[in-house]
Amino acid sequence: MKKLIGLAAAGAMLVALAGCASEGGGAAAESGPKPLDELVVGFAQVGAESGWRTANTKDIQAAFEEAGIELKFSDAQQKQENQIKAIRSYIQQQVDVIAFSPVVETGWDAVLNEAKAAGIPVVLTDRAVDSKDESLYVSFLGSDFVKEGEKAGQWVLDEYADATEPVEIIQLEGTTGAAPAIDRAEGFAEVISENPNLEVVASQTGDFTRAGGKQVTEALLKSNPGVDLIYAHNDDMGLGAIEAIEAAGLKPGEDIKIVTVDAVKDGMQALADGKINFIVECSPLLGKQLIEIIKQINDGETPQKRIITEETTFTQEQAIEALPDRQY
Ligand code: AHR
């Protein structure tokens, strides 16, 4: 009987170890940690669509440089098929870890299963994937986008607390299908639903770009001349909206209020100048935390499954104070 219990326990341990290996870090656990200068990491970036993204790329590249870890970097130009190609090439090159920020939420299971079968741990940075199988990635490091949308909604709710007439809102959405576009819309809608006077009269994607924000605002101002507020899912689209509002002979921040997400330098400057009214911060500085996760994987440790970035919000006064020290 004792022998049987012993065998069962040994079997359970093997199953548990196999589970750990399939969640990533298996190779490291078997052969011991590699020296950092022998590690190779493949990073598949979304693109260069915004000031936020540029800051994120720079921060990641600087963190790898400082840690002495080799980084293979690719820019998918906001196309999922390019990211999938990049990930497949990292699998072929047998890198030690793959990290990526998924351009959209769905459609990753096949390529992530290929990485898993090759024993290469995957770390998600910035954006999530929508998959039932959480074993396809080791850790997800990034913001709580729903909370960001809620914070934007809360400012609008407070600003129009005494409104007795309908408040017309235009929403500039991020890339269709991307986690921050879905979640920021959800959080915002949930909070503003507390006041029936707050109404999103139009909502369209500007693809997280300044040009997209400008173009969509130009068109939507024509069909919604009574608009009171624009909620843009990022600073860049808000900055594009400012251009469109000024071109229409109106004053951004006064005739039409603007709320955005990110808090990159250009956005903060517009907030300080009174052209944007409120910004919810989304930090692009993920490089150092990503390196920590990679080191844990290399040491055979299990990183935290979800790491949420710490973030704040900015009013005009706070932007004026923060601007001189803003890194990005
Ligand atoms: O995923 C983060 C978002 O992507 C940022 O808010 C936006 O600026 C970027 O393009």
pLDDT one-digit tens code per residue, 21-47: 344 444 455 678 999 999 999 999 999
CB burial of residue 195 (10 Å; 0-12, 13-18, 19+):
middle
Residue 297 to residue 293: CA distance in whole angstroms:
6
Which residues belong to CATH 3.40.50.2300 in the chain? 23-142+284-308, 145-282
- In this prediction, residue 104 carries a pLDDT of 98
37 Cα: distance to centroid of ligand 1 (angstroms): 31
The domain made up of 23-142+284-308 is a member of CATH 3.40.50.2300: yes
Q: What's the average model confidence in pLDDT over 119-135?
A: 97
- In this prediction, residue 31 carries a pLDDT of 75
- In this prediction, residue 297 carries a pLDDT of 98
Q: Does residue 151 line the site of ligand 1, with CB under 6 A?
A: no
State pLDDT tens for residues 291-307. Answer: 999 999 999 999 999 99
Are the beta carbons of 69 and 291 closer than 8 angstroms? Answer: yes
> In ligand 1, which atom is closest to the CA atom of 264?
8
- In this prediction, residue 220 carries a pLDDT of 98
CA 218-222-227 angle, to 5 degrees, is 90
Q: What's the average model confidence in pLDDT over 171-198?
A: 98
Q: Does residue 126 line the site of ligand 1, with CB under 6 A?
A: yes
Q: What's the average model confidence in pLDDT over 250-279?
A: 98
Please give the CATH architecture assigned to the domain spanning 145-282: 3-Layer(aba) Sandwich (3.40)
Are the beta carbons of 244 and 270 closer than 8 angstroms? Answer: no
Q: Does residue 180 line the site of ligand 1, with CB under 6 A?
A: yes
Q: Does residue 282 line the site of ligand 1, with CB under 6 A?
A: yes
- In this prediction, residue 13 carries a pLDDT of 37
Global pTM? Answer: 0.91
53 Cα: distance to centroid of ligand 1 (angstroms): 6
Higher pLDDT, 31 or 1: 31
pLDDT at 77 over 80: yes
pLDDT at 5 over 90: no
Kindly report the average pLDDT of the chain as a whole number. 92
Q: What is the identity of the amino acid at 59?
A: D
State pLDDT tens for residues 225-245. Answer: 999 999 999 999 999 999 999
Q: What's the average model confidence in pLDDT over 272-280?
A: 98
